């Protein structure tokens, strides 16, 4: 093992001294899972698996961290006794990574982490307090557009709905193949949402055309973007231990192509990303290793965007007012419903 190896750090890379360019932020959040459990242990499993990932990236042509200062933050765990209290804590924690000088990659944890992270993202200088300028790009087996699940409006099954309620301006989805009638109605009637269904992109005869249309949507984007990757968006054979594995999903290379196309868009600034619904596989390491590989691709493509001038530090002294109790005081009248 190299003397430069740090146990428990992403890719085994030692935490850099001084300000970080890239922050790996593990979030052990799991309070609303509805089927398989264990997502709270996913971030650590992903970090452990990442130690076996090659540092060389073919697009960069060099080893990570490729001259960038990278830090792996301590695993965050909520202390509040209520779900909404933990959402408040998570939002406050995420906020510290949206000052514009660092690229945060959040590792989860259930997908319910997305709304508080988006609440925090309003503080990024590229967003400037106006989340309507932000696009969320989502790979997921599920639409996550329910108004509630089992009576809980902050269920992981509502992550995309609540993120739009927080104020995100646009949502692009791919890989979706498990959804309710309520969600389909929302997709068909909410002009902010564009969904590329897996039944189209994975079709054995017409899939290539539908997939290219998805990539064209990514190429047409502009402005700030948050990329959220629920690993169950991949085919269940690649991530068998995720909480709700679904057959018929995206291939590994389609996920990689999505990352590469999004980060290569010269009109886009990807301000942050997350990889979620990671569960430690007890009978092997495929699930967490797949998640670690995709997290590494995200980091590598961010580094390339820096090198090619598509991402620049934009630390601002202008303070965006922060309501740390947003989720504790969430107005039920603002919940999306069809």
Position of tokens 């965050």? 76
CA 205-208-212 angle, 5° bins:
155
Contacts of 295 (CB under 8 A, 6+ apart): 10, 24, 46, 50, 105, 107, 275
Alpha helices in the chain (DSSP H): 42-50, 83-95, 114-121, 159-166, 181-189, 198-201, 207-220, 252-264, 286-307
CA-CA distance, 167 to 328, in Å (whole number)? 17
Residues constituting the chain: 338
Instruction: Note the pLDDT of residue 333.
Output: 46
pLDDT bin (cut points 50, 70, 90) of residue 33 is low
**10-311: what fold?**
3.40.800
Query: To the nearest 10°, the Cα dihedral for 121, 278, 150, 89?
Result: -40
Instruction: Note the pLDDT of residue 147.
Output: 85
Return the sign of the alpha-carbon dihedral for residues 239, 289, 160, 270.
negative
Least confident of 50-59, 118-127, 135-144, 237-246: 237-246
Judge contact between 275 and 124, C-beta under 8 A. Answer: no
Alpha helices in 63-113 (DSSP H): 83-95
Q: What average pLDDT does the segment 269-297 reach?
A: 92
Instruction: Note the pLDDT of residue 237.
Output: 92
Of the candidates 284, 222, 282, 218, the one whose C-alpha atom is nearest the C-alpha of residue 255 is: 218
CA-CA distance, 196 to 200, in Å (whole number)? 7
Q: Give 198-205 contacts, CB < 8 A, sequence gap 24+.
A: 198/141, 198/174, 198/248, 198/249, 198/250, 199/248, 201/174, 201/175, 201/250, 201/254, 202/248, 202/249, 202/250
Maximum distance among all Cα pairs of the chain, rounded to whole angstroms:
57
Instruction: Note the pLDDT of residue 30.
Output: 63
* 0.75 surpassed by pTM: yes
CA-CA distance, 27 to 219, in Å (whole number)? 30
Instruction: Tell whether omega for the bond before 65 is within 30 degrees of 0, i.e. cis.
Output: yes
Of the candidates 226, 50, 248, the one whose C-alpha atom is nearest the C-alpha of residue 138 is: 226
Of the candidates 62, 128, 27, 2, the one whose C-alpha atom is nearest the C-alpha of residue 307 is: 62
Q: What average pLDDT does the segment 20-43 reach?
A: 75
Judge contact between 311 and 269, C-beta under 8 A. Answer: yes
Tokens of 175: 């890989």
Q: Which residue has the higher pLDDT, 81 or 275?
A: 275
pLDDT bin (cut points 50, 70, 90) of residue 36 is very low
């Amino acid at each position: 093992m190299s003397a430069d190896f740090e146990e428990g750090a992403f890719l085994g890379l030692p935490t850099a001294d001084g300000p970080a360019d890239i922050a790996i932020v593990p979030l052990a959040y799991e309070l609303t899972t509805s089927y398989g459990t264990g997502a709270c242990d996913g971030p650590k499993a992903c970090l452990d698996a990442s130690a076996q990932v090659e540092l060389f990236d073919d697009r960069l042509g060099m080893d990570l961290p490729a001259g960038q200062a990278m830090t792996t933050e301590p695993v965050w765990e909520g202390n509040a006794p209520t779900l909404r209290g933990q959402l408040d804590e998570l939002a406050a924690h995420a906020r510290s990574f949206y000052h514009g000088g660092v690229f945060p990659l959040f590792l989860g944890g259930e997908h319910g982490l997305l709304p508080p992270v988006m609440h925090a993202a309003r503080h990024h200088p590229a967003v400037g307090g106006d989340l309507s300028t932000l696009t969320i790009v989502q790979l997921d087996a599920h639409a996550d557009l329910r108004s509630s699940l089992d009576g809980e409006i902050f269920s992981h099954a509502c992550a995309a709905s609540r993120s739009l309620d927080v104020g995100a301006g646009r949502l692009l989805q791919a890989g979706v193949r498990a959804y309710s009638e309520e969600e389909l109605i929302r997709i068909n009637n909410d002009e902010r949402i564009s969904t590329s269904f897996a039944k189209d992109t994975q079709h054995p005869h017409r899939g290539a055309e539908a997939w290219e249309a998805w990539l064209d949507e990514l190429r047409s984007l502009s402005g700030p973007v948050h990329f959220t990757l629920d690993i169950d968006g991949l085919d269940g054979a690649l991530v068998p231990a995720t909480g709700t594995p679904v057959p018929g999903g995206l291939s590994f290379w389609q996920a990689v192509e999505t990352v590469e196309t999004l980060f290569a868009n010269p009109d886009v600034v990807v301000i942050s990303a997350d990889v979620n619904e990671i569960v430690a596989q007890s009978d092997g390491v495929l699930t967490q290793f797949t998640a670690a590989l995709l997290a590494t691709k995200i980091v590598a493509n961010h580094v390339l965007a820096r090198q090619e001038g598509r991402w620049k530090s934009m630390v601002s002294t202008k303070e965006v007012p922060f309501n740390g109790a947003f989720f504790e005081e969430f107005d039920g009248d603002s919940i999306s419903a069809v």
